[in-house]
Structure 1
Amino acid sequence: MSQADAGDGEADVVQGAGPSELRDPFIRQELKRAGVWLGLASAIALVVLLVQPLLIIFGGLVFAAMLDGGVRLIGKVLPIGRSWRLMIVVLLAISFIAGTVYLAGVQITAQFAQLQVTLVNQATRLIGWASAHGIMPGSADIKDMAQQALGSFGKVTAFLGSAVGAVASVLMVLVIGLFVAIEPRLYDRGLQWLVPQDMRGEFAITIDRMAHTMRRLLAGRLIGMLVEGILIWGMLWVGGVPMALLLGILAGMLAFIPNIGAIVTGVLMVAVGFSAGLNTGYWAIATYFVVQNFDGYVVIPMVAKRTVDMPPALTLSSQILASTLFGVFGLALADPMVAMIKVALERESELAERAEGGAGAAAA
């Protein structure tokens, strides 16, 4: 049949629903699937674009958990209102910081300047020794290399890279944490409102377990920081190692980051120790090993029984990944993030087992 004859007959009508036929169930199902994938891609893009503000918000939640832990601890001793207990925690924290700065502020400032010079000199000597033995090729300016390497070490946040930005980030973390700690139930209800009504009960249980895990994790970290800082300061002071107070404070702060913090602490201690002589260098090495072994075999197991026991390999892997993706700020928050993910996965597994048990009972 020719095309002309075909035109005189019936029109060739395409079968099936088109994209404009939204009432068709198949089209609606496909649009839902496309919407899910589009929403997932948009969410990933937003996370990538807003990762630094999200880290600041998460840091505020971590600080809120610290405050909430202190409020609950005081509540076991003083049966007063939550607002009064929170005020006591904040005043104690401010008093501790102000007292430390007042009593040892001048000493810490002088030791910090001395530490920078000592590290540059020690790095220069090490690189010079390596160059003399052919380990480092070329005749680059060793002192400039050391200063550049140590200059990058002092950044507080990789995404801002300036003192003003670091201070602003810390202030935002403190403000967010304080607001959340003042009225945690308000934000808890707000999160539940975003979840479908039939799932809010299970979601509330999951959030409560996450908050409980966060408080225990941070309590363990604070105890470890205090013990390690005091031990290192005391042993270095007894051994006559310079800048013992500053090294103790830095060791306590770096103890918040397991594994990597201990390595950085050891490098600082050994560098400062050998700057004052071989005996003090050996004493610094001995102090490092004694404190780390005591912390690893005594303090951490005792604390882990009452807090959150996370596998060391998982902790180290998460820190490497977070520091690569998010910089120093991500490194500091790696453990809390992994702990929250761990709680969510355990909760999901529990719900799946409960659903399988219910289905098996119904089938029986």
Structure 2
Amino acid sequence: MNNLTKADIVRGTLIVLLLVGIALLLVKITATLMLIFAAVLIAAVIRAFSDPIHHRGVPETLSVLLAIVLIVVLLTGFGWLFGHSLGQQFDSLGTRLTEGYQTVRAWIAGLPFGAAIQSATPDVQSLFGRALSVAFGAVGILTNFILVLVGAIYLALDPGLYARGFSKLFPKQRSGKVLEALSESGHVLRKYLAAQLITMTAVGTMIYVGLSIVGVPSAGALGLISGLTNFIPLIGPFIGAVPGILIAFADDPEKVVWAALVYFVAQQLEGNVLTPIVQRHAVSIPPAVLIFALAAMGTLFGTIGIILAAPLTVIIYTLVAKLWSHETLGHQVDALDDAKLDGDSEDDS
């Protein structure tokens, strides 16, 4: 301690202040961080389409542009085939949900202690209205969407540029390993998103078919909602089931049991049959990790954090397994065999 000079003390103090300042800055720009990660997700989707084209000898930039055109064509084709029908169903969905919500509240009021239950239940319509005002306020959802989309295109055009820049934040002798880990995390993320797309499509289709058979109105829109909310692990299926249950109750209380059965069977088939098959080719995150990741991301970033918690956890989980558990501590990472993060584990002593 006696060998420390004033310059050393000043330098150490400045480093501490810099770290504290960076931490405070990150807290202030949490929304921007989520926009950046959303751009990374879209860029991963674009690269998933462009890589097969690039492997056929097409230049990288042209393959990315062709991938964007292909995605637009696919989305346009989906809208042309199903847009009119789904549009009509979504037009009536809002009215039906309001009727269903009021019907359920009236039914609860007739129960013993119904008034106490109602007073303890938040006003969903008021909460939804505040959520919309937040979404469309300030910068606005359209501006954020354009920002994310443009950022995603730039990231997809040259991901190596940004990866190399990020690796320069680490010691030079470790930058190669950081680049490998970033490349691996991108590969794992694409596999995870592909697996999610399969399960979301399957769940949405099963819900649509099941509710149509049961006779619940707006089955197509409800199936689409269930498929989209299935992107959120663990709690997404319950969120997606709420509109269907409400509409079934408003249409005919006897349909509630059948609607609930449709959701239950679809989720059981997805969780016990489809997901285990799909996850043989994609990374699997332990459920407890996902639970706490959802809680942490929801606390830090709000609703958008909950939506993006799973893919963000996949990236963090992969980077920690690759850079810390495997490279630094020398452990064989068995939990991520499918992601091939321990491919050189034979060299571990």
Which TM-score band (shorter chain)?
0.7 to 0.9
Note the residue ranges of structure 2 that are not aligned, 5 or more in a row.
332-349
Q: Is 1:115 matched up with 2:90?
A: no
* Contact 1:124 1:146 (C-alpha < 8 Å) held by counterparts: no
SS at match of 2:285: coil
> In the alignment, which of 68, 71, 74 is matched to residue 96 of structure 1?
74
Residue 7 of structure 1 aligns with which residue?
none
> In the alignment, which of 235, 241, 255 is matched to residue 266 of structure 1?
241
Q: 1:132 to 1:309 in 2, by over 3 A?
A: same
Deviation at 1:298, TM superposition (A): 1.1
Q: 1:138 to 1:289 in 2, by over 3 A?
A: closer
> In the alignment, which of 351, 356, 360 is matched to residue 327 of structure 2?
351
Range 146-155 or range 340-349, more displaced: 146-155
Count of matched residue pairs: 328
Deviation at 1:79, TM superposition (A): 4.0
Q: Is 1:285 matched up with 2:260?
A: yes
User: Letter of the aligned partner of 1:90 in structure 2?
Assistant: I
Deviation at 1:122, TM superposition (A): 1.7
Normalising by structure 2, we get a TM-score of: 0.84
Deviation at 1:294, TM superposition (A): 0.6
Q: 1:206 to 1:139 in 2, by over 3 A?
A: closer
Identity of aligned residues (%): 26
Q: 1:111 to 1:306 in 2, by over 3 A?
A: same
Runs of 4+ in 1 over 6 A off after TM superposition: none
* Contact 2:205 2:223 (C-alpha < 8 Å) held by counterparts: yes
SS at match of 1:43: helix
SS at match of 1:136: helix
User: Letter of the aligned partner of 1:217 in structure 2?
Assistant: Y
Range 263-272 or range 228-237, more displaced: 228-237
* Contact 1:251 1:262 (C-alpha < 8 Å) held by counterparts: yes
Distance 2:296 2:84 in 1: 37
Residue 344 of structure 2 aligns with which residue?
none
Structure 1, residues 175-208: CA drift from partner, whole Å, max 9, x if none?
Answer: 1111111112222222233433222122212212
Distance 2:211 2:147 in 1: 36
SS at match of 2:236: helix
Normalising by structure 1, we get a TM-score of: 0.81
Q: Is 1:105 matched up with 2:89?
A: no
User: Letter of the aligned partner of 2:64 in structure 1?
Assistant: L
SS at match of 1:224: helix
Note the residue ranges of structure 1 that are not aligned, 5 or more in a row.
1-15, 18-23, 356-364
* Contact 1:192 1:200 (C-alpha < 8 Å) held by counterparts: yes
* Contact 1:71 1:85 (C-alpha < 8 Å) held by counterparts: yes
Structure 1, residues 152-172: CA drift from partner, whole Å, max 9, x if none?
Answer: 4657xx5x4449711111111
Residue 6 of structure 1 aligns with which residue?
none
Q: 1:59 to 1:222 in 2, by over 3 A?
A: same
Distance 2:143 2:26 in 1: 21
Deviation at 1:138, TM superposition (A): 10
Aligned pairs for 1:65-84 (under 5 A) are 65-75=44-54, 78-84=56-62
Q: 1:146 to 1:58 in 2, by over 3 A?
A: closer
* Contact 2:104 2:246 (C-alpha < 8 Å) held by counterparts: no
